[in-house]
Amino acid sequence: MAKKKSPSTRRKAPHVAVLAENIYEDLEAWYPILRLREAGVKVTVVGPAKGATYTSKHGYPLTADASMKSARAAQFDGVIIPGGYAPDKMRRHKEMVTLVRAIHGKGGLVASICHGPWLMAEADIVRGRKLTCVSAIKTDMVNAGATYQNKEVVVDGNLITSRTPPDLPAMMKAVLAFLGAG
């Protein structure tokens, strides 16, 4: 019979920020949120304003637990950047760019899918790195100094990227492995 770990020997659950803005791709936000929670990872949705609701491309709501102005890299073990057109809005928020850059700088997970690497490029963390993304922004990533690979998931150190919703299972398998969860 396996022994239960005492509270003092249990590992603290990882804590991941999932970024929110309008026009996000439904599955690219909700699939990671649900998989992370299922694996025991603490998830905080971070948007421009705490308590504000952001809508997906198809009108599905996502409410921010924290504002981008209050979120600090020290709180998180990683960040997930959903795709859709939300990353185009996210990269215009200095605080979101700073959060992504700071999490990356401390070696935390930075995972994104679809158009998410737009925010990674704005944070200047793709130069010299391998990644994938939706084909529509491939040239943007190459021009930002990244090496594009057309694969369902690309893991380059603490950067994990995928192309589109069908790649989410592979992406989340890599994310959970990085976090040591699930």
pLDDT at 1 over 50: no
Beta bridge partners of 110: 79, 159
If phi over 0 gives left and psi between -120 and 50 gives alpha, with beta otherwise, what is residue 109? beta
pLDDT of residue 173: 98
* 114: annotated active-site residue: yes
Amino acid (1-letter code) at residue 115: H
Ordered structural domains, the chain, with CATH: 15-179 (3.40.50.880)
Q: Are 131 and 161 in contact (CB under 8 A)?
A: yes
pLDDT of residue 6: 46
Catalytically annotated residue among 93, 104, 115, 133: 115
pLDDT at 2 over 60: no
Cα torsion through 143, 172, 110, 118, rounded to 10: 30
DSSP states of 56-84: BTT--EEE-SEETTT--GGG-SEEEE--B
Give the residue ranges of DSSP H helices in 39-167.
86-90, 94-105, 117-122, 138-143
pLDDT of residue 107: 98
Catalytically annotated residue among 93, 104, 114, 133: 114
